[in-house]
Structure 1
Amino acid sequence: MSMVLESASSASTATPSIGKSRALGASAGQAAGNHHLGGEFLTFRLGAEEYGIEILKVQEIRSYEPPTRIANSASFFKGVVNLRGVIVPIVDLRLKFGCDSAEYNSFTVVIVLNIRGRVVGAVVDSVSDVLELPGDAVRPAPEINAAVDTSYITGIANVSDRMLILMDIEALMSSADMGLIEAAMQ
């Protein structure tokens, strides 16, 4: 199953339906690179927490299929899949972020990302929806001691009764410990 995302039209509060295509747009704030000031975010769950990433980085959402494992790789690197002729590395964000359990079920999906021209898959517990957040709804990431790496958190948003952690997925996937995308590529 696959849901292809296009930036041709606008969807401010749509709930993606796995298996069906739906066009999703991006705001002018994101096009200017102001991802931490608001814009449209795809929200997903990792354990009990809910995260948001810029919709412009999302290529499609697919149901989880076991990838081909690569020997001697990090535990969070699940392997590779063939996506219409493109070999795509798959990273389990639940394992990367140390979630208590990383159970594969019918809600588990792979968010296919396009990061600096490279296609990468991220396994998450489930996809929630697409939200448009005004800049004033986003607060800066909290300052936490050096024992906690918050460099990928761009902000925190309070949406209704839930807390949303906004993540710079490009910085995360480009980090040296991931080894997926050359940091020198700009």
Structure 2
Amino acid sequence: MAEELKVIVFTLAQEEYGIEVDKVRTIERLVPITRVPKTPEFVKGVINLRGIVIPVIDLRGRFGLAETELTDNSRIIIVAANELEVGFIVDSANDVMDVMSDAIENPPEVLGGIKAKYISGVAKIGENRLLILLNLIEVLNRNEIIQLEQFGE
């Protein structure tokens, strides 16, 4: 029997993505971000969220998509991966959705210019809606996690 997977749905460049609900700590409106020198371009800096310093990544930059102006719909999704909390800047965070495991297929090699290693699968929702499921372990690969952990110290 197919299992149900709960995901937070967010958008980047008109595409819908999903992150498993149990990996998401909170979704925040944009707050001031303090720039950190000598970091990759997609690392926007750190925020102070209720007394915790959290590194913030622009997912558009991480995936090599064109960056755009942030809007009132832009959000920071705080995720937890490998005991590290990181904020992802996204265009909007819309929804929580149940996805059946049998509706999830392996990702194609490249999807909208995003390398397959960043994607854990693609879920078919209804007739013509696709949801790209992120592989958080690769989005925050080991070397970058080490760099980000140094911010928090």
- Tell me the TM-score normalized by structure 2: 0.84
Alignment match of 1:162 (pick from 111, 117, 129): 129
Higher helix share: 2
- Letter matched to residue 148 of structure 2: L
AA in 2 matched with 1:142? P
CA 177–84 in structure 1, closer or farther in 2 if over 3 Å, else same? closer
1:173 aligned residue = 140
Distance 1:124 1:118 in 2: 19
C-alpha deviation, 1:113, in angstroms: 1.1
Q: State the Cα distance separating 1:181 from its structure 2 match.
A: 5.2
Q: Higher RCO, 1 or 2 (CA under 8 Å, sep at least 6)? A: 2
The 1:101–1:143 alpha-carbon spacing in structure 2 relative to 1, beyond 3 Å, is closer
Tell me how far 1:102 sits from its aligned partner: 2.3
Partner SS state of residue 148, structure 2: coil
Deviation at 1:75, TM superposition (A): 1.1
- The answer for unaligned runs of 5 or more in structure 2 is none
The answer for the alignment partner of 2:99 in structure 1 is 133
Residue type at the aligned position of 2:12: L
More strand by share: 2
In the alignment, residue 153 of structure 1 is paired with which amino acid?
I
Please give the secondary structure, in 1, of the residue aligned with 2:60. helix
Of all paired residues, the percent bearing the same amino acid is: 35
Q: 1:87 matched to which residue of 2?
A: 53
Would you say how many aligned residue pairs link Structure 1 and Structure 2? Answer: 144
The partner residue of 1:104 within 70, 73, 77 is 70
Runs of 4+ with deviation above 6 angstroms? none
Q: Distance in 1 between matches of 2:141 and 2:55?
A: 13
Mapped partners of 1:156, 1:88: distance in 2: 29
> Is the 1:95–1:102 contact (alpha carbons within 8 Å) kept by the matching residues of 2?
no
Letter of the structure 1 residue corresponding to residue 138 of structure 2: A
Q: 1:77 to 1:40 in 2, by over 3 A?
A: same
Is 2:5 the counterpart of 1:62? Answer: no
1:53 matched residue in structure 2? 19
Deviation at 1:140, TM superposition (A): 1.1
RMSD between aligned alpha carbons? 2.1
CA distance in 2, matches of 1:51, 1:148: 12
> Counterpart of 2:106 in structure 1: which amino acid?
P
In structure 2, relative to structure 1, the CA distance for the partners of 1:148 and 1:42 (3 Å cut) is closer
2:84 to 97, 113, 118: 118
**Cα distance in 1 between the residues matched to 2:41 and 2:119:** 22
